[in-house]
A and B are shown apart, each in its own frame.
Chain A
C-alpha cells in the first residue's frame, strides 16, 4: 500500500497542505512525496518520540501532521507522546504504521505490529483506519482529513483481487456472499481471505465482511440481521485478542442484546513455535487462513 499511500498524499497536498514526518523510512517509496511537498516533508531521523511531539506542536499551529514509520516504531516507541501530546489535545496528527500485523514477516518480532490498533484505541479521541484493498488507502486518507482528529492508519500489503468487484470503501462492507457462516475481518488480511474464498461455491463458504474503521459505531442493520441468522460468526484478525476487533464486536453485541448462535475469534497468537518466517507463515501459525476458518465453521 506504500505506493498508493504516497500517490494519495501527493494528491491530498494539492487540496490541503500538511507536514509529513518520517522516522528515516520510505526509501524507494516516498521519494515522489518528498519531491512534491518540498520543505513540508521532514525526515525527523531515528527519533520517534521527538517526531511525534514535533508533529503535535506543528498541528497546534494549524497544519495537520502525518507521522510515518514501520508500525511498531510509529505507535509503540512514542506511545506516551501519542497519548499526551496528540490525544489529550485532540490534534489532527495521523500516525501511519507501515506493515501492520505480521507485515514485516521474517524481519522478526521487533518489526511486527500485532497489538497496534488495540493499544491506540485505548487512547482518548483516537480513531483507527485499517484499509484492506488498494482503493481503500486514498479513501482512508480522505476520511482522516475530514475527521481532523488523532488517527492511526494501519498499512499492509494490498492483494490484487481479480475476477471480483470489491464494494467501494465504507466502515462496514460485505465483500462475499456465503451461507456457511459469517466472517468479519479488518485490514490487509481481508485481501488474502478474499483470494482464498472467492472461488469457493457460495453454499460451501461463509460470507465475508470487512470493517475498516475502529472503534465500532452502531452495527448496520444488515450486519445485525446476518449475525443472528447465520450458524456461526467468526472474527478473523491479524492482531492479538486483547483490544482487538473480536472483543470490540463481542461487547457491542452484548450491549445491544445481539446474540449469535455461535461465536469464534481467530487472532494473532504471537510466536507459537518460536520460529520466524514470512507473513503467511505467521498467519498460518495463528490459524488465520481459509482451512482453519472452514474447519471452525463445520465444527
Chain B
C-alpha cells in the first residue's frame, strides 16, 4: 500500500469513527494524522516510543494504531462509548504503544524528555517521539521542558509540532501572535536542530525523520486543520464540531475521489 492509499484509507476510517460516535475534534485529528501514520508505519522501531501530547487528537492515534494492527477493528466501534479503552483522550495503562495518558496540554514534552533521559541513563536503545500542537506552546511547562531537553542535549528525542495555526477559539496568531516561523525562531535560539516542513508530505517527513541526529530534533510541521476535506480545511470551527450525516457522506466522497 502506498502512503497515499494509507492516508486515504485512514482518513475515511477516522471520519467514520468520529461520525458514528458523534464526536468532534476532527480538524486537529486530520492535521496530525499524516505524521502519525508515517511515524507508526515507517519510523518506529521496537524500543522507540511515541507520546501524543495533543491528546485531543486521540482519534488519529487510534487509527494509526489500527492501521498497524495494534488496535482491532472491533475496538474502533467502541470509541467514545461506555466501557471503552478508546476515550476521547488517550487513557493510561492498557497498551504499550500509548505510554502516557494525555489530554491536558503541556505534559507530553516533559514526559518524552524524561523517557529520553531515562533511556540514556540506562544505556537503552530507542528514540522517543512526541507530537504536540502549536497552540499547546502557550503552556508554560513546555518552556521549562525546552530549556531542560536542550541543556541535557537529548539526541534520542524527536519533537514534532502540528502547526495548523488554529486553536480552540481563534488562530494562534490572534490568540498569542504565534506561528511556525515564530516557534522556529525561538526554538532555534536553543541548541536543538529545528526544521520547518510540510507535515502532509511523505517526502518531507521522510527527509526530516531519517537524517542523522546528534542533538534534540524539533520538527515544526506546517499543516492544515481538516486536511483532505475541503469544507473543513483551515476552519477553526472544526476544532470542535461533529459531523452531520450529510457532511459525513460529502467528506467521504471527496476523499474517495482523490
Q: Interface of A with B (CB < 8 Å)? A: 19, 39-40, 42, 44-45, 47, 49-63, 65, 80-81, 84-85, 88-90
- Give the chain B neighbours of A60 by CB distance below 8 A: 99-100, 111, 114-115, 118
Bound: A19/B114 CA distance, A:
11
Interchain residue pairs with CB less than 8 A apart (20): A19-B121, A40-B121, A45-B151, A49-B140, A49-B141, A50-B110, A50-B113, A50-B145, A51-B144, A53-B114, A53-B141, A54-B111, A54-B113, A54-B117, A56-B110, A57-B117, A59-B114, A60-B115, A81-B107, A89-B93
Q: Among A47, A57, A90, which residue has its beta carbon within 8 angstroms of that of B118?
A: A57
- Contact of A54 with B148 in the complex, beta carbons under 8 Å: yes
Residues of chain B with a CB closer than 8 A to A44's CB: 148
Residues of B within 8 A of A50 (CB): 110, 113, 141, 144-145, 147-148
Assuming A49-B144, A50-B145, is B100 touching A58 (CB within 8 A)?
Answer: no
Chain A residues lying within 8 Å of B99, measured Cβ to Cβ, are 60
Q: Point out the residue from A40, A47, A55, A80 that lies within 8 Å of B114, measured CB to CB.
A: A55
Q: Complex formed: what's the CA distance from A59 to B112 in Å?
A: 11
Q: How far is the CA of A45 from the CA of B147 in the complex (A)?
A: 9
Q: Give the docked Cα–Cα distance between A91 and B220 (Å).
A: 31
A57–B111 CA distance with the chains assembled, in angstroms: 5
CA distance A176 to B104 in the complex (A): 48
Closest to B112 in A: A57
Q: How large is the interface on B (under 10, 10 to 19, 20 to 34, 35 or more residues)?
A: 20 to 34
Q: When each residue 231-257 of chain B gets 1 if its CB lies under 8 Å from chain A and 0 otherwise, what string results?
A: 000000000000000000000000000
B contact residues around A63 at 8 Å (CB)? 118, 121-122
Given A84-B107, A85-B107, A89-B93, residue A62 in contact with residue B118 (CB < 8 A): yes
A58 to B93, CA, bound (A): 16
Closest A residue to B101 by beta carbon equals: A88
Using an 8 Å CB-CB cutoff, how does the interface string of B23-36 with A read, 1 for contact, 0 for none?
A: 00000000000000
* Complex Cα spacing A59 to B122, Å: 11
Contacts of A54 in B (CB 8 A): 110-111, 113-114, 117, 145, 148
CB distance from B9 to the nearest CB of A (A): 32
Please indicate the chain B residues that have their CB under 8 angstroms from the CB of A55 in the complex.
Answer: 114
User: Residues 139-176 of chain B: 1 if any A CB is under 8 Å from the residue's CB, otherwise 0?
Assistant: 01100110110010000000000000000000000000
Whether the pair B147, A47 counts as a contact (CB closer than 8 A) is yes
Q: Which residue of B lies closest to A89 (CB)?
A: B92
Is residue B230 contacting chain A, with contact meaning CB distance below 8 A? no
Contacts of B4 in A (CB 8 A): none
Q: Which residues of B contact A88 (CB under 8 A)?
A: 92-93, 101
Q: Which of A19, A39, A52, A56 has the most CB of B within 10 A?
A: A56
Q: Which residues of A contact B141 (CB under 8 A)?
A: 49-50, 53, 81
- Which listed residue, B104, B106, B118, touches A19 by the CB 8 Å rule? B118
Which residue of the partner chain, among B104, B107, B118, contacts A58 with CB atoms under 8 Å?
A: B118
Say which residue of A19, A47, A85 sits within 8 Å of B100 (CB atoms): A85
Q: Is there an interface contact between B148 and A61, defined as CB atoms closer than 8 Å?
A: no
Chain A residue, CB-CB nearest to B124:
A61
- Measured in the bound complex, the distance between the Cα atoms of B148 and A19 in whole Å is 15
CA distance A26 to B140 in the complex (A): 25
Question: CB distance A58 to B148 under 8 Å?
Answer: no
Residues of A within 8 A of B116 (CB): 57
* Bound complex: CA A40 to CA B117 (Å): 10
- Asked if B119 is at the interface of the complex by the 8 Å CB criterion, the answer is yes
Contacts of A80 in B (CB 8 A): 104, 107
> Can you name 14 extra interface pairs (CB under 8 A) apart from A19-B118, A42-B117, A58-B117?
A19-B117, A49-B144, A50-B147, A53-B109, A56-B111, A57-B117, A61-B124, A62-B118, A62-B122, A63-B118, A84-B104, A84-B107, A88-B101, A89-B101
